[in-house]
Amino acid sequence: MTTDVFAVLADPHRRRVLELVAARERTAGELAAEFDVSRPAVSRHLRVLKEAGLVTCRQDAQRRIYRLDPGPLTEVAGWVDRMRGYWAGRLDALEDHLDANPEVPNASR
C-alpha cells in the first residue's frame, strides 16, 4: 500500500488525473477517456490516489465521482519549501566562503 505522496505523484497519469479533478469533479469514465491507457489501468491509478488521500470518491448510482483533496499536497509543498529555505540560509555562509577563496577549486593542476 503505497502511502508515500511523492511516490504517488511520480506517475504522470496520476498527476494528470489530479489536474483534471482540480478543475472540477469527474466521473471515472470521464477520466479514463482522457488517457490512452485502458480503463482498469486508470481505475488502479484512482485507487492509489484515493489511498493516498489525494482524491475522494462519491458514488452517484453506477458512477463514481472523483474530487481532489489537496490536503496531502501540503507535505510536498512543505518539503520543497524547507529545501529552498535551507538553501537560502546556506547562501550567506557560502558567499563568505567564496569571498575568502576566490576561484581556486584545484590548486595542484
Partner DNA sequence: AGGTTACGTAAACCTATGGTTACATAGGCG
Partner DNA sequence: CGCCTATGTAACCATAGGTTTACGTAACCT
Helix (H, G, I), strand (E, B) or coil at 67: strand
CA distance 73 to 76: 5
What strand order describes the sheet that includes 55-60?
A: 26-27, 63-68, 55-60
One residue of 58, 95, 96, 98 binding its own copies per CB under 8 A: 58
2 lies in the binding site for DNA (CB under 7 A): yes
Q: Which of residues 8-27 bind DNA (CB under 7 A)?
A: 10-11, 13, 27
User: Does position 77 bind DNA by CB under 7 A?
Assistant: no
Over its C-alpha atoms, the chain yields an Rg (Å, rounded) of 22
Cell 504522470 maps to which residue? 12
**Residue 98 touching its own copies (CB under 8 A):** no
| Binding footprint of its own copies on the chain (CB under 8 A) | 4, 6-7, 9-10, 12, 15, 18-19, 22-24, 58-61, 68, 70, 73, 76-77, 79-84, 86-87, 90, 105-106, 108
